[in-house]
């Protein structure tokens, strides 16, 4: 028994600046996961570092039987969920510098963790399995951040490598696979209270609320978060934002990241954590230094100064190591444990199930609040 790692696509070029790339997956075998490696090339950036590869990739889907969703996530959601799945996100060349390559490497599991032997996608039991990647390399803004720059597609067409992880020479019969997708969304508002109804039927392994926007986040849109079963019969969870955050940190640990950007003095740029910290370091040539100036949910400013303390007018190459909670403002409901089926919820046996989000009085109306779900699927159509 072994896991096979071989290129399905190697440096396949995206066509044009926006569109949909469809890649046919193998017709048989036990698919444990898909490894994706993406490369792009930046333009003449001048203090406009707001867009990264996970922003340009607007949707990643694995579809079988023509329209049946197995995975459907944005690039940001995939990176956020990798943290909760216990899968490391390579930080090599996550950057936004002038005229330079940017790279990101992701992994889509079909089990509960990396190379799970009990949950995999059995490709022999589905028809027409496909990987679909929606992209927009012209993007200059996202989630309230507006100082981005389109990729220099004419200089270097973005490319992707796709590496299926297939279990070979095994008599294992998987119990099923894990489906991951969005199941609910609403628009935030000051003091708004929303019951995010969870569809009945599936077996839910985990639920993940998300609320990503400049300077705002899940902490603002989940001033209180409640998990409610059968209309108040059972309320396993009701916590204020800060206490929910502590539970999530204890269960999953802190998210750490590193990136390099072309930064301007006093200009905020997206750093995708809440209640976090950042350590900047000057990388360019010259006698200057960077220091932490301001942090907020999903946003940071740095003060860039010469050795006499005067602010620098030009953008500077700045390396940032950071950490915090809720990567890309994706949280988790700590009632669940993806690794322990005893904590999963069989929603077909319930009257109803919802996650109640209570927005703060200063939440604002710009945030799209989303509920993502992991489902254990044991029956094939």
Residue 302 counted as domain residue: no
| pLDDT attached to residue 230 | 94
Residue 9 counted as domain residue: yes
Residue 227 counted as domain residue: no
169 CB-near residues (< 8 Å, 6+ apart): 1, 2
Residue 123 counted as domain residue: yes
Residue 132: give the domain boundaries: 2-168
| pLDDT attached to residue 177 | 98
Question: Which range is least confidently modeled, 71-80, 127-136, 286-295, 371-380?
Answer: 286-295
> What percent of the chain lies above the pLDDT cut of 70?
97
| pLDDT attached to residue 280 | 87
- Confidence class for position 303, pLDDT limits 50, 70, 90: confident
| pLDDT attached to residue 96 | 84
Mean pLDDT across 80-106 = 89
| pLDDT attached to residue 135 | 98
Residue 129 counted as domain residue: yes
Residue of 369, 370, 364, 368 lying closest to 189 (CA atoms): 364
- Evaluate if residue 344 carries a pLDDT over 90: yes
Residue 58 counted as domain residue: yes
| pLDDT attached to residue 305 | 86
- Evaluate if residue 103 carries a pLDDT over 70: yes
| pLDDT attached to residue 227 | 97
Residue 264 counted as domain residue: no
| Structure-model confidence comparison of residues 38 and 281, the more confident one | 38
For 111-159, the three-class secondary structure string (H helix, E strand, C coil) is CCCCCCCCECEEHHHCCCCEEEEEEECCCCCECCECCCCCCCCCCCCCE
- Confidence class for position 323, pLDDT limits 50, 70, 90: very high
pLDDT tens-digit series, residues 142-198? 999 999 999 999 999 999 999 999 999 999 999 999 999 999 999 999 999 999 999
pLDDT tens-digit series, residues 25-40? 999 999 999 999 999 9
Average confidence score pLDDT of the chain? 93
For the chain, the three-class secondary structure string (H helix, E strand, C coil) is CEEEECCCEEEEECCCCEEEEEEECCCCCEEEEEEEEEEEECCCCCCCCCCCHHHHEEEEEEEECCCEEEEEECHHHHHHHHHHHCCCCCCCCCEECCCCEEEEEEEEECCCCCCCCCECEEHHHCCCCEEEEEEECCCCCECCECCCCCCCCCCCCCEEEEEEEEEECCCCCCCEEEEEEEEEEEECCCCCEEEEECCCCCEEEEEEEEECECCECHHHHCCEEEEEECCCCEEEEEEEHHHHHHHHHHHHCCEEEEEEEEECCCCCEECCCEEEEEEEEECCCCCEEEEEEEEECCEEEEEEEECCCCECCCCEEEEEEEEEECHHHECCCCCCCCCCHHHCEEHHHCCCEEEEEECCCCCCCCCEEEEEEEEEECCCC
Mean pLDDT across 202-208 = 98
Max mean pLDDT among 153-167, 256-270, 302-316 falls in 153-167
Residue of 234, 291, 296 lying closest to 268 (CA atoms): 296
Question: Which range is least confidently modeled, 7-21, 122-136, 252-266, 287-301?
Answer: 287-301
- Confidence class for position 95, pLDDT limits 50, 70, 90: confident
CATH number at residue 145: 2.70.9.20
| pLDDT attached to residue 284 | 66
Residue 103 counted as domain residue: yes
In the chain, the number of structural domains is 1
Mean pLDDT across 232-254 = 95
């Amino acid at each position: 028994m072994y896991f096979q790692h071989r290129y399905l696509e190697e440096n396949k070029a995206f066509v044009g600046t926006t569109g949909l790339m469809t890649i046919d997956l193998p017709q048989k075998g036990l698919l444990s996961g898909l490894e994706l490696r993406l490369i792009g090339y930046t333009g003449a950036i001048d203090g406009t570092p707001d867009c990264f590869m996970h922003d340009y990739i607007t949707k990643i889907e694995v579809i079988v039987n023509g329209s049946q969703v197995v995975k459907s996530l944005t690039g940001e959601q995939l990176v956020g969920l990798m943290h909760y799945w216990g899968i490391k996100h390579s930080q090599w060349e996550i950057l936004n510098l002038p005229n330079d390559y940017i790279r990101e490497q992701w992994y889509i599991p079909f089990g509960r963790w990396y190379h799970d032997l009990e949950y995999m996608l059995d490709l022999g039991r589905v028809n027409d399995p496909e990987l679909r990647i929606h992209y927009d390399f012209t993007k200059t803004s996202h989630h309230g951040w507006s100082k981005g720059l389109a990729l220099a597609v004419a200089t270097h067409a973005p490319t992707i490598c796709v590496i299926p992880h297939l279990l070979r020479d095994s008599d294992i019969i998987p119990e099923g696979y894990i489906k991951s997708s969005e199941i609910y969304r609403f628009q935030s508002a000051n003091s708004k209270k929303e019951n995010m109804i969870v569809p009945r039927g599936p077996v839910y392994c985990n639920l993940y609320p998300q609320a990503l926007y400049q300077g705002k986040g899940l902490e603002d849109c989940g001033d209180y978060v409640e998990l409610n079963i059968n209309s108040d019969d059972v309320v396993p969870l009701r916590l204020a934002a800060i206490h929910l955050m502590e539970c999530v940190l204890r269960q999953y640990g802190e998210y750490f990241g590193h990136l390099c950007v072309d930064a301007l003095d006093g200009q905020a740029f997206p750093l995708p954590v809440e209640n976090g910290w950042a350590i900047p370091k000057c990388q360019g040539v010259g006698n200057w230094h960077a220091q932490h100036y301001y942090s907020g949910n999903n946003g940071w400013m740095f003060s860039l100064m010469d050795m006499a303390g005067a602010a620098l007018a030009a953008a500077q190459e700045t390396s940032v190591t950071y950490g915090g909670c809720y990567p890309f403002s994706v949280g988790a409901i700590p009632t669940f444990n993806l690794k322990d089926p005893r904590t999963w919820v069989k929603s077909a046996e319930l009257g109803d199930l919802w996650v109640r989000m209570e927005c703060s009085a200063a939440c604002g109306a710009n945030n799209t609040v989303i509920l993502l779900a992991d489902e254990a699927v044991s029956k094939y159509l």
